[in-house]
Amino acid sequence: MIVRPLSAEDRRQCQPLWDGYNLFYDRPNLAAEITESAWARFLDPGERMHAAVAELDGRIVGIVHYLYHRSTTSVEDVCYLQDLFTAPEARGQGVGRTLIEYVYAAAAKSGSRRVYWQTHEANPARKLYDRVAGVTPFRRYVKELA
């Protein structure tokens, strides 16, 4: 398995994974403008948002998106692993773990001392997450402003 930064040429293979991720989180009709904006950010070297892909036998089978931000609890930026998705046929082959470890290494290299993420309580990937990170008791509150 190869994990590497996303490139513009990956769009065709990544689109079904992006769509599957959004369908999993009940966003099947995500506006095209949002997808285009995300891709522009992933490919902009000046952005704090990053993306990587996992390839197995020359085919992209997983995606991960992560970003860095300041924190009141750290001098260094922290890393938020925002999206992680593995092709259904590649699950159980270590793709998710390898992508998470890639983010850990990228964050450490950038000087970040923490990587964190959130997931739905019914996400079956929590079995993996429980093995690679600690879970906290915090709840997420959201107020949509538009």
Rounded to whole angstroms, how far apart are CA atoms 102 and 45? Answer: 18
Nearest to 62 by CA among 116, 18, 124, 117: 18
- Beta carbons of 43 and 8 less than 8 angstroms apart: yes
Name the residue with higher pLDDT: 121 or 146.
121
- The whole-model pTM stands at 0.95
- Beta carbons of 132 and 126 less than 8 angstroms apart: no
pLDDT tens digits, 116-137: 999 999 999 999 999 999 999 9
Q: Strand locations in the chain, DSSP E?
A: 2-5, 49-56, 59-71, 74-86, 115-116
pLDDT at 22 over 90: yes
pLDDT tens digits, 36-65: 999 999 999 999 999 999 999 999 999 999
